[in-house]
Amino acid sequence: MLQQQQQFISYSIAMVTPFTKEGDLCIESIPELVKFYIHKLEAPGLLISGSTGEQHCMTIAERKQLYQIVGDTVSKDYPLYAGVAAFKTKDAIELAQAAQKSGFAGIMLGVPPYRLPSQKELKQYVIDVAKSIKLPIFLYNNPAGNGVQIEPETYASIASIAANVYGLKEVGDSANVKKVKQLLGDKARQHTFFTGIDEEYAEAYTEQGYTGITSVAGNVFPKEMKQAVEFLHMDQIEKGKELLASLVPKIQVVLDTGLLQSIKYILRKRGAPAGYCPPPLLEPTEEDKARLDAFV
């Protein structure tokens, strides 16, 4: 599903990170979990250490170790993308360089959480990280999670300076993608525009100009999500819309019962060493587990 002139595949799954019940990184579970995603979920590619991967629950050293183990587990040509957002620029650079050394195909760079950088500061942060590596980068705009929006003008300005910035994952204002594409002009064809909101992908693709997704729902509904994206990208729009619409109530159950906790519960029930969410997040209740068991 690699699109012409683009650096990233259009569909990948955002992998969870295995932790113990006490909240420690479960190193020994990582290789088998990666193999589960590749062989059981048939993930075309994986996003490691993003929001779904609870990246900020790990130390910088743990994230680097995670990259290395995942990179050692997959074949050299398997698409891996590393979330490298960090509180400090030097930490993001260290993470990006570690991912590159571990054989990753690309980088997802989010805004430093809680620090509320200005657009000027955000621009410099991205440029500094981009200069430190050769890998292609897509930025992650998640204003609800980080309190700061990457403005379309800021993205376009960054892309004109940093030659390896080739994409934007937009989960804020969906209209931003159209604005960015207008600002980029013909160069927009070289960029991938991701969403992370599975249930909205049909509209995002057909009306807003998005071209890919790093799927969260693919953890639970891997075949259906992959098929829906393929339908849309093959111009079988109605089939894609119908399939996604059928998933919406199921996705809502997972959201209602605690997104990450529910995903890990379902994966464990399916035999994956997905681990648990570090406290204060709690396991689904027995009532919620009964609802989730319908998807196992």
What would the 3-class secondary structure string for 229-279 be? HHHHHCCCHHHHHHHHHHHHHHHHHHHHCCHHHHHHHHHHHCCCCCCECCC
Cα 179 from Cα 159, distance rounded (Å): 14
At residue 21, φ and ψ (nearest 5 deg) are: -60, -25
Whether 136 has a pLDDT exceeding 70, the answer reads: yes
Q: Which residues are catalytic?
A: 140, 169
Q: What is the pLDDT of residue 15?
A: 99
Write out the binding residues for pyruvate: 52
| pLDDT tens-digit series, residues 138-193 | 999 999 988 999 999 999 999 999 999 999 999 988 899 999 999 999 999 999 99
Cβ neighbours of residue 174 closer than 8 Å, sequence gap 6 or more: 195, 200, 204, 208, 210
**Eight-state DSSP code of residue 58:** S
Best CA proximity match to 154, nearest among 175, 180, 136: 180
The one-letter amino acid at 2: L
Domains of the chain from N-terminus onward? 11-241+273-280 (3.20.20.70)
CB atoms within 10 A of CB 186: 6
How far is Cα 269 from Cα 284, in angstroms, rounded to an integer? Answer: 13
Residue 13: strand pairing partners: 46, 215
Q: How many helices (H) and strands (E) does the chain have?
A: 12, 8
Query: Is 204 strand, coil or helix?
Result: helix
CB 49 within 8 A of CB 83: yes
Give the C-alpha separation, 253 to 132, whole Å. 42
Per-residue confidence at 3, pLDDT binned at 50, 70, 90?
Answer: very low
pLDDT of residue 5: 62
Residue stretches of the annotated binding site = 52
Give the model's confidence band at 6: pLDDT under 50 very low, under 70 low, under 90 confident, else very high.
confident
Local structure of 25: helix, strand or coil: strand
Residue 113 DSSP one-character state? T
Structure tokens at 259: 């997104």
Q: What is the pLDDT of residues 36-85, one digit of tens each?
A: 999 999 999 999 999 999 999 999 999 999 999 999 999 999 999 999 99
3-state secondary structure (DSSP) of residue 141: strand
In the block, tokens 């690309």 appear at 106
Query: pLDDT of 235-277, one tens digit each?
Result: 999 999 999 999 999 999 999 999 999 999 999 999 999 999 9
Mark 25-40 as b/e (b = at least 16 C-beta within 10 Å).
Answer: bbeebbeebbebbbee
- pLDDT for the residue 1: 42
Per-residue pLDDT reduced to its tens digit, 209-241: 999 999 999 999 999 999 999 999 999 999 999
> Do residues 227 and 261 make contact, with C-beta atoms less than 8 angstroms apart?
no
